[in-house]
Amino acid sequence: MKKVERINTIMRYINNRSHFTISEIMQEFNISRSTAIRDIREIEAMGMPLVAEVGRDGGYFVMNNSVLPTVRFTDNEIKALFIAFMATRNQQLPYLKSRQSLAEKLLGLISENQQDDLVLLNQILLFEGTNPNNPDLLELSDLPHPMLEKLIQILLLDSYLLITIKEGKVIKSYPIFLLHLYHEKGLWLIEGFNLKEEKRQIFPVDNLTDVQPYSTEKRLSKKKILEKLRKQEEVINLVLELGPKAIAQFKKYHPLKVSISFTNPYQTTAILKTFINVNHSEELTEITNWLLFLGGDIKIREVPEEVLEVLQERVFLFCT
């Protein structure tokens, strides 16, 4: 790690702590005691308000209510921010206007040489959803659903919501306790506990017409909600190990409620765990077709006998 980059990182490390020692800096950044002391002195010279603590086990305190120096971005950090903007184009993410202003501020903070690097990256890097004829960072057009930001603002204050959903020509209201808000297969989805029917439900944000905090008089406690959910959880009966080819197929298509957990930082292996209702013929057929769609790059750890029988029949018919 270069000196400038290391000092920037140490400054961020210090900013997040009220007290630290030289030994902690040495261990965290794998540097010698003399290097750690030199770096701390340089950070102090830049204006970081540190107070040395006397004693054998002494360290440093960071003074409160002081103006800290602006943390500088390294070249790699600037590229990481820029590529993050590029990779999230056309994903219908909220706070679009704020993302635009962040992009403008980023470009205004950096040198001409760094701007040239970003221009070149913008020309050669393409992500899913990027228009190659107009790959301009500042022309983000991925407008999210107009209710999404309102939903986020309310749920940050309160997880008990009364949501109004348009289902065809019918408009219905549901009192829910929000469990998750997530983006999957190009859709924003609300996963919530229906307080009236006392069950887990998923609602598409695209069908949302209104959202309000739910009446405090009719609420169940969070503890009771979680207890009811635990009782309703079905036993997992399908466990798969996925390789890189199967993960690629999974990303192309997967049933709505199925998710995977990556088992290495490169996202080339993953574990899939879910429940299959073998008494539901349509679900059984859908899952069987999907398992064949994943291809041969899977290892089956656990599978219901009914699914295995259907798979064997399908493979036998294919071979004959």
Q: What is the 3 state secondary structure string of 52-96? A: ECCCCCCCEEECCCCCCCCCCCCHHHHHHHHHHHHHCCCCCCCCH
Q: Is 267 left (phi over 0), alpha (psi -120 to 50) or beta?
A: left
- How many H-runs (helices) and E-runs (strands) does the chain carry? 11, 12
**Are 77 and 137 part of one and the same domain?**
yes
198 lies in some domain: yes
68 lies in some domain: no
Q: Is 18 left (phi over 0), alpha (psi -120 to 50) or beta?
A: alpha
Which value, to the nearest 10 degrees, does the dihedral of the CA atoms of residues 232, 260, 95, 104 take? 160
- Residue type for position 298: I
Q: 0.85 exceeded by the pTM?
A: no
103 lies in some domain: yes
**Are 154 and 139 part of one and the same domain?**
no
Assign 29 to helix, strand or coil.
Answer: helix
**Are 122 and 187 part of one and the same domain?**
no
Contact 11, 74 (CB under 8 A): no
**Are 246 and 223 part of one and the same domain?**
no
119 lies in some domain: yes
Q: Is 279 left (phi over 0), alpha (psi -120 to 50) or beta?
A: alpha
- Residue type for position 156: L
Contact 127, 89 (CB under 8 A): yes
* Single residue among 122, 144, 166 that ends a domain in this structure: 144
Reading the block at residue 15, the tokens are: 């900013």
* Single residue among 197, 232, 267 that ends a domain in this structure: 232
222 lies in some domain: yes
Contact 96, 146 (CB under 8 A): no
- The CATH number that applies at residue 158 is 2.30.30
302 lies in some domain: yes
213 lies in some domain: yes
* Single residue among 144, 162, 194 that ends a domain in this structure: 144
**Are 187 and 246 part of one and the same domain?**
no
What per-residue confidence (pLDDT) applies to 92? 80
**Are 161 and 99 part of one and the same domain?**
no
Contact 9, 1 (CB under 8 A): yes
Contact 93, 24 (CB under 8 A): no
Reading the block at residue 314, the tokens are: 């399908």
Tens digit of pLDDT per residue, the chain (320 long)?
778 888 888 888 887 777 888 888 898 888 998 998 899 888 888 777 788 776 555 688 777 645 455 556 778 888 888 888 888 877 788 887 787 778 777 877 788 888 888 888 888 888 776 666 665 655 555 677 888 999 999 999 999 999 999 988 899 999 999 999 988 777 888 999 999 988 888 899 999 999 999 988 888 999 999 988 888 776 788 899 999 999 999 888 887 567 788 998 888 999 998 888 777 777 788 888 888 899 889 998 998 888 888 888 877 666 55
Assign 183 to helix, strand or coil.
Answer: strand
- Residue type for position 247: I
Q: How far apart are CA 249 and CA 258, in angstroms?
A: 13
**Are 218 and 152 part of one and the same domain?**
yes
What per-residue confidence (pLDDT) applies to 65? 44
155 lies in some domain: yes
- The CATH number that applies at residue 40 is 1.10.10.10
Q: In which domain, by residue range, is 185 found?
A: 148-232
Reading the block at residue 6, the tokens are: 């290391």
Contact 205, 187 (CB under 8 A): yes
Beta bridge partners of 298: 242
**Are 295 and 242 part of one and the same domain?**
yes
Domain count, the chain: 4
**Are 51 and 86 part of one and the same domain?**
no
**Are 245 and 287 part of one and the same domain?**
yes
